[in-house]
Structure 1
């Protein structure tokens, strides 16, 4: 039997522990003088279903330790992916963490934060010494949850959760791993997802007599207008569609666009153009809602996040449509 190691590098040991993904919580309590306290923690875990028990730990060096050690109640908030800023706020010391925050009604005096993925209102049951931490075990006296995707923490940074997908094709398992083209090709998955998504509102495009090129131009101008021909072409460059004078003239002739000189020169939507694109975008939103209902809010959030990262990683320097134009 080998001897246990005694030469752990604290930094490397922390990195190894960081491979275990956890949720992110804020634990709150109230001091005897009424002062609210709260800390960000990822040490939360379940202990028992019956009775309902949970635990979390706090460093002995934490300034809030005396408050939590003396508290009869504390609340655990599992943060949603939209509460990263709140997590950072409560992770910093020496600030008025509750200033300007709205609170929900709690069964105890412990502060109850809104808009979380889940919340557990707890009564202190036990406290244990755990090395350089104190472990708090509490009985859950009330809880609630939402469909908001939870915020995760892994390898030293925030992350999002998503369920692992099954194969798109039933024959995928039979595809040789050396095959040049398979359903694992990212371009294939992105392309197929795009065309299947657009197919869901293709009927609305056809009813409005709009081509894909028309849709790209009108949707771009629905975000910002007026834009010059060169600006429109640069914003639509990722589609490989050449937005030239012929296309823009056609949209003007059909009463969907107009060329203006004031307050600045460029193309803008007409009333008919705005009505057309609003109907198409409403249909696209309906398709999005249907797809989102099938894959779930958590996966939808993860998908948006990954696509944003992919766009950033492959961006050849296209202009940012949602960034205010420079004067």
Structure 2
């Protein structure tokens, strides 16, 4: 099944994104002379369902960088389980990567490969520098979801679960000391600090407070939220959608004006959407750095367990603190 343009269905788009198991993709474009360019990449992530947006990153030293900087269109191919040879082919340098391949042409005349699990045709919406990489954020113009089993990549090998690299004997000494080695609150707090510090630095550089950041990311993820719902979700962080905060968001041009009621739906402006995506890209880079010692299944399990902890806390509220044991 295929969908194109403004008729993209959010549920089906989410399903297509879900076919990306561990980041085995081929990204294609063409250079200024019309030559086809492609490479294997493992940095693909979804950004937003409405508008449908994805991101990936490319090392600044890559020979393909000029083509992706010059062209405003690219395609991301999520590889199927039987496409390991294709992944290897596009990972090599100095070869004609497209030799012998049957191709279609997509948005912007970008080459499209066949046999994938999913593929996303994108217009480059933003480019951000992220250390030694450039982060490309693309607005999805069309996509295909073929429902083939995806190619799995773990620990440097295809379809293999590799053991984690051994940690330095002293690197975890502080984390393992005293009762804290088994105290979930301490471990979660420390992990949260490590994940959040790069985001805080990004916000500080742009003069954005944490409550503003929370609202922007909430509205990016859930564009249908009302002011009351945003306030309730902010309460989980110890903040609230105060009249002053709401006015600041409007005055800064990040949120469209509303009637001030709890039932009013809040909507990001294009400027607010761009800012939220920029912060999101920084957050995803921080997540990747913090979880680099986890393989895909471990990271998936960690997220699932944390969601269960959060749901349990929300269900019991503050009653658990006073419940008899």
TM-score by length of 1: 0.43
TM-score by length of 2: 0.43
Larger radius of gyration: 1
